[in-house]
Amino acid sequence: MNRALFLAALLLAPLFAAFEGFPKPSDIFMRTLQVRVSNAADANDTRDAVSNFGVTRLEWVYWTKAEKDRLLLRDLKGKVTRFGGSLNPTQPPREGTAPYCRGLDGSTATVPWLRVYKNDRTNMCANHPDTLPSLSNHIAFQVGLGINAFQVDDVAMNVDVMRAAGGCFCDHCVAGFSRELAAKGKLTAYAREGRGDGKTFDIRSFLLSKGVKSGDGVWNDPRFPAELKRDFEAFQMASVKSFLPRLQATASALFGGPISFSKNTEADWLGGTFDYAMYELPWGNASPAYLYGFISHQRAIGGTVVFDGPKKFPMGEAELPTLRAAFATAYAAGGYAFVPWDMFTAPAKPRLFIRPSELGDLTTFIRACAPLLDGFNQLLEPWTGAAATNHLAADPMGDNSLAIFPHLASRQPGKEAVLHLVNWGKGRAVAPIQLDPRALLANPRSRIRVTQFTPKAFEAEAVGRAWATGRYGDLVEKKVLLEGALRPFDATVDSWSLLQVVALDGESGPAAPRLFPFGGKVLGSVSVEVEADGNGKSVYTLDGSDPRAGSKAVSGPIAISPGPGKSVILKVRSVEGSSFSPIAEARYTGEFILKARPGPGAMKPGTRYAYYEGEFEGLPDWGALAPTKSGSVEFFHQGPRPVETKAWAGKFDAWLKVPRTGRYRFWGFFNAQKGLVRLTVSDKEIFTAGKGSEQGRGEAVLEEGLHPISAEVVESHSDGSKGSHYFFIGMSGPGIPETRLTDAYLVHEPIQP
């Protein structure tokens, strides 16, 4: 089977379009809510951050008439290519108008999440004739400042209001909905139930006549008929979709030509009005698989995405590797990420200001490697043409992996390719890399050179010189890993590296064969397929010695059974006449399998628990405590805790039903700021997680049958909130999608009365 030719056909769309305002792959995005320093007590300076991070696009800014805004734009002109302003339907309308969304009683309909700020902000209505002129005033002011890009914040407008107040019931929406029903031939049926002359339908009057009360409960009120709700929702969505192109056309007209237009949402229903999306990434979605899938979807619908996040508060030392990996993966997978400076984390929480020493090495690395990003804008499926012996996790796109994203300069393999290596593990990753030149290069028998590019540590003085001159090349380390005939080689990755693969003049002798899978962990046994170029034969050894001409010939897949905790080293080389290829070498290590145990006879679904009250510094000695109460529940959760309790601990014990032998992944989450949760399966600790929204993850290879499972949870010091803290534990495995651990998989011994 020719994997390379098949996978090479999976080229995705180009990473960026020809439109001048569209981001380049090497653009660095940063936002700031306002230009800082904002006052004498503000320790954060927008100008310093832009230069330290090498920013090229300063977007999503609420510009003001303050002198500091004008001076910043003047000073950064020529260094920053795009200055982006924000358009928000909650911004003040033009004087003398009030084009707001309205509830059933005519009052302004405020989006619930905005109420946290205790102000009167609410969305303007997409159907109100004063909305576009009001936003046009904001556009004209910002264009006059020198803004050349716009982001539409709170872009859903009427639709945002819908889930609470049921939608906008202003006169313009009521009349527009009636016309929409007439155009669809639905007016007659609705008009019989409405009020008026029978030729129109007044949805506001109709709902009030049914007893629907204005306020947050409109959408879920059972007196709001389902079909009418669907029609009204479609109307509100269509209203927003028709308004946004007019807003973009107005911005372009006032700017005097096409202008970058982005949205703060991933919502597909908004259509193709926007050049790219800005998406606030939840902390729990920070994984290479999620980021790649999200970016691929945005590109498939004709745009791209700039991630804001992943969001977490507070952001400590333990979270920094994940933030860095997510930032690097956003670029490696064909998207972008905001420098998390002046980043919104949660309502009423402080904003996050990442330090240059924490991320500046990666942003300046992008600037230094701009030719390798901008010149290679065709992204292959991850891992196409490359494999690594991943000692961190079995899943190459898992959140403990070394993820590989290959890029080509055009739709067909040529003389060069670039591979992004992003380390999602804890600590430095050292992994053997195997390339398949047929997916990456036009002439797979070429001699090749592989050069690794790695970020240098952030150094303020060096970055200052680079910002002043525009030359960032000295901020990257370069190392040649391979030159000559192709063979596997080792790569060391701390956070993010680029591999430049270049075909050199002249052909080499036979290249090293390629092994599938290329080493790694083995559950029981594995069949290794060998692919080689040319007409010669391939020979191999399993004892660690170098293969010779008389070694055993490859005649099919090679069966390898290392045994638990043991390793087998496979070495393969090709022989063509008197020429020998370099050796392909890979290590296969047997997994330890946690054995199933005979459980007690009778079982009941769910888990036993013991609940304790008191102050706890970490997990207690359970045997030394007497529980406040005990019993059984259907799954691991905080249910046994009374809502008024300020500090508590709990231990849950059950048996896990494993349907078949294989690798199982577990995760847990506890949102209490001083919470802690530990999971143990068959006496093996899977993870310990805490610190607010930290998510614990771990895995184990389990034999089919029953395994004792224990979850221990502690809330050491309550913050005073009642009933708002929760934890859960989930798993996935062979034949089991990601699911919460419930009594479908948990059983326990009956509790004796």
pLDDT tens digits, 699-745: 899 999 999 999 998 876 544 444 446 677 889 999 888 888 889 99
Select, from the ranges 178-187, 407-416, 462-471, the one with the highest average predicted confidence (pLDDT). Answer: 462-471
Residue with tokens 């059974």: 561
Name the nearest CA neighbour of 89 among 233, 250, 274, 243: 243
Element (H, E) at 501: strand 496-507
Mean local confidence (pLDDT), 184-200: 71
Q: Compute the distance between CA of residue 52 and CA of residue 40 in angstroms, rounded to an integer.
A: 21
Q: What is the pLDDT, as a whole number, of residue 18?
A: 43
How many Å from the N-terminal Cα to the C-terminal Cα in the chain? 63
Q: Is the per-residue pLDDT at 343 higher than 80?
A: yes
- Dist CA 687 CA 677 (whole Å): 8
Average pLDDT over residues 144-162: 92
The C-alpha atoms of residue 680 and residue 694 are separated, in whole angstroms, by 18
Strand partners, 733: 736
Q: What pLDDT shows up at residue 613?
A: 85
Among 30-34, 231-235, 295-299, 722-726, the minimum mean pLDDT is found in: 722-726
Read off the pLDDT of each residue in 152-158 and give the average, rounded to a whole number.
91
User: What's the rounded Cα separation, in Å, for the pair 410 and 91?
Assistant: 44
Q: What is the mean pLDDT of residues 74-102?
A: 93
CA–CA distance, 322 with 320 (Å, rounded to integer) = 5
Residue 62's H or E segment, with its range, is: none
Does residue 614 carry a pLDDT above 60? yes
Question: Across the chain, what does the average pLDDT equal?
Answer: 86
Percentage of the chain modeled with pLDDT above 70: 89
- Name residue, tokens 């590109």: 299
Give the residue with greater pLDDT, 661 vs 121: 661
Residue 267: Cβ-neighbour burial (10 angstroms; 0-12, 13-18, 19+): middle
Contact criterion met (CB below 8 Å) for 132 and 189: no
Strand blocks (E) in 558-661: 558-560, 567-576, 579-580, 584-590, 604-605, 607-613, 629-633, 648-658
* pLDDT for 585: 92
Give the whole-angstrom CA distance, residue 236 versus residue 123: 13
At position 746, the amino acid (one-letter code) is: L
Amino acid at 182: A
Read off the tokens for 102.
Answer: 């309205």
Q: Which of 151-155, 393-397, 417-421 has the lowest mean pLDDT?
A: 393-397
Q: What is the mean pLDDT of residues 44-69?
A: 95
Angle, helices 320-332/356-368, rounded to nearest 10 degrees: 20
Instruction: Determine the pLDDT at residue 14.
Output: 36
Instruction: Transcribe 71-84 into DSSP letters.
Output: HHHHHHBTTBSEEE
Report H helices in 35-121: 46-53, 67-76
Q: Residue 511 has what DSSP assignment?
A: P
Pair of tokens at residue 168: 């906008």
Torsion of CA 136, 140, 146, 151, to 10 degrees: -10
How confident is the model at residue 1, as a pLDDT? 28
Lowest-confidence segment of 202-206, 399-403, 607-611 by average pLDDT: 399-403
* Burial state string for 539-562 with b = 16 or more CB within 10 A and e = fewer than 16: bbbbeeeebeeebeebeeebebeb
Residue 746 has pLDDT above 70, yes or no: yes
Q: Is the dihedral of CA 103, 105, 106, 109 positive or negative?
A: negative
Query: Where would I find the beta strands (DSSP E) of 236-275?
Result: 260-263
Do the Cβ atoms of 686 and 700 come closer than 8 Å?
yes
- H/E stretch holding 235 reads helix 226-255
404-458 pLDDT, tens digit each: 999 999 888 889 999 999 999 878 888 889 888 888 888 887 889 999 999 999 9
Instruction: Decide if 573 contacts 547 (C-beta within 8 A).
Output: yes
Query: Considering only 274-278, 308-312, 506-510, 564-568, which range has the smallest mean pLDDT?
Result: 506-510
Task: Out of 65-74, 163-172, 378-387, 686-695, pick the least confident.
Answer: 686-695
What pLDDT, on the 0 to 100 scale, is given for residue 620?
Answer: 87
Average pLDDT over residues 54-75: 95
Q: Is 141 exposed, middle or buried (0-12, 13-18, 19+ CB in 10 A)?
A: middle
Q: Minimal CA–CA distance to 562: which of 553, 570, 554, 552? A: 570
Q: Are 310 and 288 in contact (CB under 8 A)?
A: no
